[in-house]
């Protein structure tokens, strides 16, 4: 699916997604990534929902964020709240959803000017 940009000049926004990729500012990614509005896209070493643990999210706790979206791949998976407890302690909201929904939600929050990050589980390598 192709997404249309709205007021995202100079920020990372999702411009499309499919079964095994997301496109950020027109560049396709097939590996799990962390996306911030104003920082380079980073590889995220988590390859499946079972790999999401407190350590995989801990680097986000000291950042000035309002919300972190966790995209668990093509299907929604439940993540135990103790996994994101360090984020909650830092007063950062967490929403868990499938990766496609996380892309759409990220763009909405970005358009609202919110301090958002998305951690997304994807396939095995860059395009």
Residue 125 pLDDT = 41
Whether 7 is in a domain gets the answer: no
Residue 19 pLDDT = 82
Q: What length does the chain have?
A: 127
Residue 9 pLDDT = 76
Whether 27 is in a domain gets the answer: yes
The total of structural domains in the chain comes to 1
Its pTM stands at 0.90
Structural domain that includes position 69: 14-124
Whether 110 is in a domain gets the answer: yes
What are the residue ranges in the chain where pLDDT is below 70? Answer: 1-7, 124-127
For residues 85-98, one letter each, b for 16 or more C-beta atoms within 10 angstroms of the residue's C-beta and e for the rest, the string is ebbeeeebebbbbb
């Amino acid at each position: 699916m192709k997404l249309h940009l709205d007021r995202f000049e100079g920020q990372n926004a999702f411009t499309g997604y499919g079964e095994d990729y997301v496109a950020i500012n027109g560049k396709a990614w097939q590996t799990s990534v962390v996306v911030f509005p104003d920082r380079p896209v980073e590889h995220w070493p988590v390859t499946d929902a079972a790999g999401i643990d407190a350590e995989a999210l801990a680097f986000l706790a000291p950042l000035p964020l309002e919300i972190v979206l966790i995209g668990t791949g093509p299907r929604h998976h439940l993540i135990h709240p103790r996994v994101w407890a360090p984020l909650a302690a830092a007063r950062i909201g967490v929403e868990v959803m499938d990766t496609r929904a996380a892309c759409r939600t990220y763009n909405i929050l970005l358009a609202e000017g919110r301090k958002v990050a998305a951690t997304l589980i994807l396939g095995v390598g860059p395009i």
